[in-house]
Amino acid sequence: MELILAIAAGALYGTGFYMMLRRRLGQLIVGLGLLSNGTNLLIFTAGGLTRARAPIIAGDAQELARPYADPVPQALVLTAIVIGFGVLAFSLVLAHRVHIATGADDIEEIESGQ
């Protein structure tokens, strides 16, 4: 499974950057979103995969029964997801402001218009 998820993460990084290299503001932001998803997947995968054993202590136990999915990468990814959301939303709005200010969506046109 690591192989497949590694490919998936790689695809997200690759397409994320590919979209950031396109000419439209909107595509750039979508690229950022893909990149952010890729990073989250990478952290999760690198932290080790354990099927369907959520790190939640069962109602009658005092301690987590092994094996369990490592909760630490989960906490990290959760933080990263939320931060990524905030940042992505902000960048999107900023891109839109650039669009309004310049009347253009083509990055080349925006940059040459100065």
Region 27-56 residues binding Na ion, contact defined as CB under 5 A: 48
Question: Between residues 70 and 106, which has the closer beta carbon with respect to Na ion?
Answer: 70
Q: Could you give the CA distance from residue 85 to residue 54 in angstroms, rounded to a whole number?
A: 24
Q: How far is the CB of 87 from another protein (least distance, A)?
A: 6
Q: Are 2 and 45 in contact (CB under 8 A)?
A: yes
Q: How far is the CB of 112 from another protein (least distance, A)?
A: 9
Q: Could you give the CA distance from residue 7 to residue 15 in angstroms, rounded to a whole number?
A: 12
- Considering CB distances under 5 to 8 angstroms, the limit depending on partner class, which of Na ion, another protein, none binds residue 35? another protein
Q: Are 88 and 36 in contact (CB under 8 A)?
A: yes
Find, among 83, 76, 88, 89, the residue nearest to 42 by Cα.
Answer: 76
67 contributes a contact to Na ion by CB under 5 A: no
- Considering CB distances under 5 to 8 angstroms, the limit depending on partner class, which of Na ion, another protein, none binds residue 44? another protein
- Considering CB distances under 5 to 8 angstroms, the limit depending on partner class, which of Na ion, another protein, none binds residue 60? none
- Considering CB distances under 5 to 8 angstroms, the limit depending on partner class, which of Na ion, another protein, none binds residue 107? another protein
Q: Could you give the CA distance from residue 37 to residue 42 in angstroms, rounded to a whole number?
A: 9
